[in-house]
Structure 1
């Protein structure tokens, strides 16, 4: 069978739209995914946006792929996007599209009524952070659908294969979906600004013990950790988490104030500490799965 990575589509500049970073040998039943840290902005996209180069980057999960890079040395693969979230968001259904963005009617199967579309954050976003419009004018429907067919669908095919290979090899697969959030965000109903939010779709995408372990490990490192509020997990967490089948998915949101200057988007002195702590977190999660989830590594409570 042809390897998925051998058929990764390339951007106009010749760079792959995404890639899998693999360990020399996968020794852990984990897959890490960084779908929003892409920094490859094409000239065509920059010409189409009304934003400057810094403004268009506001919706990035800045450097999250690099923060988690040490996990491959621990024995787990990582899939990371190079295309930017502002251009295509793979943490959405494939056709969550806003008809206001396009120059002609969308196909009947498009989901035009979701809350994410209403908020400007569909599969092809209309807005970046702070409710700022992305495009100067309307897009062609053909261009929008081409992004989905040429990049979105192969990206998810690659992610599904990584998860399936892991599940076959170990009898369990744990997906860690890696994200970041604005520093000013507060936990729902609280004045606390969490350092991390662990999302498990309110217990439906991962075993409760696994979620509690994630919260406990991060808390033990001295971080303020919330669970599910306000981020319980997006399409990826919901779609791939099937704990009754031994398929677990957790979304981890990191407070950007821990590691970047949100005005300049440059890493701060906290970057190295955070990267080390995330490696520790990953190692502890791997140990928990090996030692605490039973001989059969079964899932749901």
Structure 2
């Protein structure tokens, strides 16, 4: 594909020699290149500004091309631009000047400081020292956000054309202190399918079963059911399925230093197994009759 042409500095696609499975893997929040001018605009130190990133998630899913599936990954950090939002979810309090009338200023994510251009990281730590020019936000959206999604759409469309279905796995991590509401359970994984609207129930159940079978605790949709990407690209009735997977960071990262834990290779190997199990399941389930292609 030509996604990388001119955009490699912002994101890249790691392609298999030949795509052999109807999967696309996406890691939109694991970027680790922080533009110097962005750091200069921020009042946070180099560790604090990384608190909201999905640390090393692209590495955890690095075997996807070997499996036969493309892996799209961001180089830019989530704190700089969040492609798991609508293109124009912006907080007017962040900008020096009026925003265009088409901007969504009233979403819950904007109210929480987590719009397309985030205002905060982690636990309400303000990113910027001062208001940003409106043109800065529009530039990030035009030059990074839109090309990223154009690339993701191409990958999904190519996969769907080749196999009759496409399964997007949107890969994320979550803080280690996340608990299920009303309990002390801290899940290892959360599978999000927008409460059954973005992917087939069979896919969600299979994902849960495979993780449980490896000894992990896995739950579905709570507290994370999937973001903009899962909601936007999941159309099961058309054979377009989107699952979000959230990994508990405490499994593989020291959340104080953000360094890899010694268990990192174990978790990466488990996710490689998970990807292969999901691919085998789809081949067996579909059985050549496109059972997942149009529910």
Q: State how 1:1-301 maps to structure 2 within 5 Å.
A: 3-8=2-7, 16-299=9-292
Distance across 1 between alignment mates of 2:107 and 2:291: 34
Residues in 2 aligned to 1:173 and 1:135: alpha-carbon distance in whole angstroms: 39
Q: Deviations over 1:96-137 (max 9, x none)?
A: 000000000100000000000000000000000011100000
Q: Secondary structure at the match of 2:190?
A: strand
Superposition deviation, residue 189 in structure 1:
2.9
Contact conserved, 1:36 with 1:60, CA < 8 A, in 2?
Answer: yes
| Residues matched between the structures, number | 294
**1:289/1:297 contact within 8 Å kept:** no
TM-superposed deviation, 1:71: 1.3
Partner of 1:13 in structure 2? none
Q: How far did residue 180 of structure 1 move? A: 0.1
Q: Secondary structure at the match of 2:197?
A: coil
Q: Distance in 2 between matches of 1:269 and 1:188?
A: 30
SS at match of 1:167: helix
Offset of residue 294 of structure 1? 4.0
SS at match of 1:296: coil
CA distance in 1, matches of 2:123, 2:134: 26
Check whether the contact 1:172–1:247 (CA below 8 A) recurs between aligned residues.
Answer: yes
Post-superposition CA distance 1:52-79 (Å, at most 9, x none): 0000000100000001001111100000
Inter-partner Cα distance in structure 1 for 2:242 and 2:130: 37
Distance 1:52 1:117 in 2: 23
CA shift, 1:270, in A, is 1.0
**Contact preservation (8 Å) 2:3, 2:12:** no
TM-aligned CA deviation for residue 297 of structure 1: 2.5
Distance in 2, Cα, partners of 1:5 & 1:38: 15
Separation of aligned partners in 2, 1:294 and 1:204? 23
Q: Secondary structure at the match of 2:123?
A: helix
Compute the displacement of 1:139 (Å): 0.3
Distance (whole Å) between structure 2 residues aligned to residue 109 and residue 200 of structure 1: 28
TM-score normalised by length of structure 1? 0.96
Shift of 1:249: 0.3
Q: RMSD in angstroms over aligned alpha carbons?
A: 1.0
List runs of 5+ in structure 1 lacking aligned partners. Answer: 11-15
Contact 2:22 2:165 in 1 (8 A): yes
Maintained 8 Å contact 1:172/1:298: no
Q: CA deviation at 1:295?
A: 2.5
Q: Distance in 1 between matches of 2:139 and 2:91?
A: 15
Asked if structure 2 preserves the Cα contact closer than 8 Å seen for 1:26 and 1:76, the reply is yes
